[in-house]
């Protein structure tokens, strides 16, 4: 493996800073700089980009983003034990790395400083599994559209990635797939086996890329959430039953949808029609 910078190997960084991985923080670190480089390259071009990385940990992906030429990287890390390791990376790439110690769930992307007229943010992260889905929903459900970001390059557990990209008719198609498909285009780029991480998780992971649709079908996010929660809450039932409390047959017929259909057969456009028909 050829070094991407002259910083110490990540294993030495973990030892030096006493970074014993904590399960409660979803700490499954990527120590292979070839792999972190491959993930970073999915977000190219980076030369004019401001990248936001959530959960940098000891900084493997951060180093790859900087080595691939990211103009600026802003990292948001909850675990204060990681900060000295990240400060060493910042010193190696002067003026290009900003370290924010915060809970990403409370972090507002609008606070990220960008030069006047700069392009939208690129978010790149090997997400902590316990907050990954919530972060994604927050980024997709932003009131402002187009959003502050132009791409999300994210590592998820494969099972979650499959739900994000699932199409109608798939058993994995559900609320997450409808919300993601409504506003974005998402695709799985490649899988990463458990043994690539320290410590290895129980399951395979996938890197996924998500880009915002320029003009999603007009709909209220809150109503779309209401209708998908009800429809997929009882996914085996016919929609006239699962949507009973929201208007049942009347709502379905007004949206030109056969009340005998089941949630997983509906296209995103049909879900949008239902949402728009809700009182």
Q: Is the CB of residue 100 less than 8 Å from the CB of residue 77?
A: yes
Q: Is the CB of residue 67 less than 8 Å from the CB of residue 11?
A: no
When binding is defined by CB under 6 A, the residue of 67, 131, 196, 230 that contacts ligand SAM is 131
Q: Does 139 bind ligand SAM (CB under 6 A)?
A: no
Instruction: Please report, as residue ranges, which positions from 211 to 240 form the binding site for ligand SAM (by CB under 6 A).
Output: none
Q: Does 61 bind ligand SAM (CB under 6 A)?
A: yes
Backbone angles phi, psi at 76, to 5 degrees: -120, 110
Segment interacting with ligand SAM (CB under 6 A) among 1-9, 41-49, 74-82, 171-179: 74-82
Q: Does 25 bind ligand SAM (CB under 6 A)?
A: yes
Q: Does 29 bind ligand SAM (CB under 6 A)?
A: yes
CA 196 to chain centre: 20
When binding is defined by CB under 6 A, the residue of 14, 46, 49, 56 that contacts ligand SAM is 56
Residue 34, judged by CB atoms within 10 A of its CB (0-12, 13-18, 19+), counts as exposed
27 or 228: CB nearest ligand SAM? 27
Token pair for residue 159? 């099972």
Q: Does 112 bind ligand SAM (CB under 6 A)?
A: no
Best CA proximity match to 141, nearest among 193, 178, 98, 103: 178
Strand partners for 187 = 209
Q: Does 208 bind ligand SAM (CB under 6 A)?
A: no
Instruction: Give contact residues for ligand SAM (rule: CB under 6 A).
Output: 25-30, 54-57, 60-61, 76-79, 82, 103-105, 126, 128, 131
């Amino acid at each position: 493996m050829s070094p991407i910078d002259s910083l110490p190997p990540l294993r030495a960084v973990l030892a030096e800073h006493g970074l014993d991985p904590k399960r409660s923080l979803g700490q499954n670190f990527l120590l292979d700089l070839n792999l972190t480089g491959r993930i970073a390259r999915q977000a190219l071009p980076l030369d004019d980009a401001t990248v936001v990385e959530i959960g940098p940990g000891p900084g493997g992906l951060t180093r790859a983003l900087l080595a691939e030429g990211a103009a600026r990287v802003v990292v948001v890390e909850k675990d204060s034990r990681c900060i000295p390791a990240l400060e060493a990376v910042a010193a190696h790439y002067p003026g290009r790395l900003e370290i924010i110690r915060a809970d990403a769930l409370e972090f507002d992307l609008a606070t990220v400083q960008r030069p006047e007229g700069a392009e939208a943010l690129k978010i790149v992260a090997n997400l902590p599994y316990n907050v990954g889905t919530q972060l994604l929903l927050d980024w997709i459900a932003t009131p402002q559209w187009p959003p502050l970001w132009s791409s999300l390059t994210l590592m998820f557990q494969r099972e979650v990635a499959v739900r994000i990209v699932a199409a109608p008719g798939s058993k994995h198609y559900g609320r997450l797939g409808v919300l993601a498909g409504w506003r974005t285009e998402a695709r799985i780029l490649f899988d990463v086996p458990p043994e690539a991480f320290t410590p290895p998780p129980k399951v395979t992971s996938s890197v996924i890329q998500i880009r915002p649709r320029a003009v999603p079908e007009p709909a209220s996010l809150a109503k779309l959430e209401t209708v998908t929660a009800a429809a997929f809450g009882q996914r085996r039932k016919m929609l006239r039953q699962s949507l009973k409390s929201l208007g049942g047959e009347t709502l379905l017929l007004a949206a030109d949808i056969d009340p005998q259909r089941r949630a997983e057969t509906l296209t995103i456009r049909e879900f949008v029609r239902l949402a728009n028909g809700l009182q």
